[in-house]
Structure 1
Amino acid sequence: MQKTNKVTVQPNKQQLLNRLRRIEGQVRGIHQMVDNDRYCVDILHQISAIQSALNKVSLALLEDHTHHCVANAIKGQDGEEAIKELMDVMKTLTK
């Protein structure tokens, strides 16, 4: 189920972009750490921080999707399809 109209799909778009920029900077930092032969445990701590940050972005997107796209689909005629899609996403996120 994809949106094709000009409705804002991401109501918290700027917050998500800010988080993703921070994550991008952290990834560049890890690249430098590896290039500079930093201690493996320090690099692993940074990787863990990035994974946590990405999980927060995923949860924020999932929350927005549920409150907006899924809720609207349930109010309309596409509720079952939206719920199935949501559950598929949940299965992917929890692998």
Structure 2
Amino acid sequence: MDYDDQVKNRVKRIEGQVRGLLKAMDEGKECRDVVNQMSAARNALDRAIALIVSRNLEKCIREEEEPGESTEDNIKEAVNLLVKSR
């Protein structure tokens, strides 16, 4: 699977958020600040997951599909990936 620069940049920003989170913890920041940073990182990951799945859903379905096979199972799997990520 190929991932474009936009997706990679999102992950790099998330990496920066996690580093900021660790720094806040090392500095003994307030619980509220640490939890807010965790929530922001989690939300960014959720958006990145949704972007990857949505961009690649059609391609994945077509690659997995056997001639005459229903795409329903592959669509369900993609939806389950999104649900599981929460």
Out of 44, 61, 86, the position equivalent to 2:52 is 61
Judged with a 3 Å threshold, the aligned counterparts in structure 2 of structure 1 residues 43 and 60 are, in CA distance, closer, same or farther, namely same
In 1, are the aligned partners of 2:49 and 2:82 still within 8 Å (CA)?
no
User: Structure 1: which amino acid aligns with 2:81?
Assistant: V
Question: Aligned-residue CA RMSD in angstroms?
Answer: 2.3
Return the TM-score normalized by structure 2.
Answer: 0.78
Deviates more, 1:79-88 or 1:18-27: 79-88
Confirm or deny that 1:85 pairs with 2:85: no
More displaced stretch, 74-83 vs 46-55: 74-83
**Would the aligned equivalents of 2:21 and 2:38 in 1 still touch at CA under 8 Å?**
yes
1:18, distance to aligned residue in structure 2 (A): 0.1
Percent identical among aligned pairs is 29
Match of 2:17 in 1: 26
Are 2:15 and 1:36 aligned? no
Structure 2 unaligned blocks of 5 or more = none
Judged with a 3 Å threshold, the aligned counterparts in structure 2 of structure 1 residues 65 and 51 are, in CA distance, closer, same or farther, namely same
Unaligned runs of 5+ in 1: 1-8
TM-score scaled by structure 1? 0.71
d(CA) in 2 for partners of 1:16 and 1:25? 14
| Aligned length, in residue pairs | 84
Contact 1:26 1:46 in 2 (8 A): yes
Deviation at 1:29, TM superposition (A): 0.5
Structure 2 contact 21–34 (Cα < 8 Å) conserved: yes
Report the secondary structure of 1:38's partner residue. coil
